[in-house]
A = this chain, B = another copy of it.
Amino acid sequence: MDKLHIHIEVSPELYLRNPDSSTLGRKIVTNSIELIEILGFEDFTIKKLSTKIGSPESSIYRYFESKHMLLFYLIYWYWSWIEYRLVFNTHNLNSRTDKITTAIKILTESVEEDSSFSHINEILLDRIIMTEAVKAYFTKKITKKTKQNHFSVYKRVVERVSQMVLAISPTFKYPHMLISTVIEGAHQQRFFAENLPSLTDVNPEKDYITQFYTELVLNDIKK
């Protein structure tokens, strides 16, 4: 597996003080992930986080400008981590089909192992992204410009996989649309399977969501 001790750096625009540079900072991040996963982002409050870590609210605000920025930090971290895994696991593959298949696997599978190379629990973070990330795109609490800057990693991931699509089918007109549909779709289907099963087709096979989206993509680009 890819249990290297890589270090993920988050864009400084997302924090006031780098939470990765102190024990308190890391405590904030670790515990916010645990709390958001349990409560959901709406019911998650800085007050609750502050009591959980035993530090005052004002200390948390020294690291993050706002509750929303903390969520953006987590999202950024997540996509950096996905990008790393994407590059690491596909770069030495020769077959174009293998590349795209591996990429779709990484984008659609639920994370079930905490690679524990950091203070961040990837299993919980993956669940947060599944349920909370959409809200972050759609919120008007953050300006367009800020969003566009801060979704840069996500965009890069979409771009990378779009290139894999074009490598197979150079005239395909909508690679970004296809890939962002797959990414968001897979998250949503996982959520539906847990919460609104009649909107999806729950299946005992572990990787049925990955299978579905892999076939969807291959059928579409190999017309």
B212 and A177 within 8 A (CB): yes
B173 and A181 within 8 A (CB): no
A147 and B196 within 8 A (CB): yes
* A110 surroundings in chain B (CB, below 8 A): none
B192 and A180 within 8 A (CB): yes
Residue of B whose beta carbon sits closest to that of A215: B220
Q: A42-B141, A176-B201 known; 4 other A-B pairs, CB under 8 Å?
A: A137-B196, A147-B196, A177-B209, A185-B185
A150 CB to nearest B CB, Å: 11
The chain A residues found within 8 Å of chain B, CB to CB, are: 39-40, 42-43, 131-132, 134-135, 137-141, 144, 147-148, 151, 154-155, 158-159, 173-178, 180-181, 184-185, 188-189, 191-192, 195-196, 198-201, 203, 208-209, 212, 215-216, 219-220, 223
Main secondary structure of the interface of A (DSSP, over half): helix
A194 CB to nearest B CB, Å: 9
Residue of B whose beta carbon sits closest to that of A135: B135
In the bound assembly, the distance between CA atoms of A147 and B191 in angstroms comes to: 13
* A132 surroundings in chain B (CB, below 8 A): 138
* A200 surroundings in chain B (CB, below 8 A): 174, 176-177, 180
Residue of B whose beta carbon sits closest to that of A159: B198
A201 and B188 within 8 A (CB): no
A135 and B137 within 8 A (CB): no
Contact of A189 among B140, B158, B180 (CB under 8 A): B180
In the bound assembly, the distance between CA atoms of A40 and B136 in angstroms comes to: 13
B189 and A201 within 8 A (CB): no
A181 and B176 within 8 A (CB): no
The answer to whether A201 and B175 touch (CB under 8 A), given A191-B137, A196-B137, A220-B219, is yes
* A43 surroundings in chain B (CB, below 8 A): 140-141
Listed by A's residue number, 24 A-B pairs whose Cβ atoms lie within 8 Å are A40-B138, A40-B139, A40-B140, A42-B140, A135-B138, A155-B196, A155-B199, A159-B198, A173-B201, A173-B212, A174-B208, A176-B200, A177-B201, A178-B212, A180-B189, A180-B192, A180-B199, A181-B185, A181-B189, A181-B216, A184-B185, A215-B220, A216-B216, A220-B220
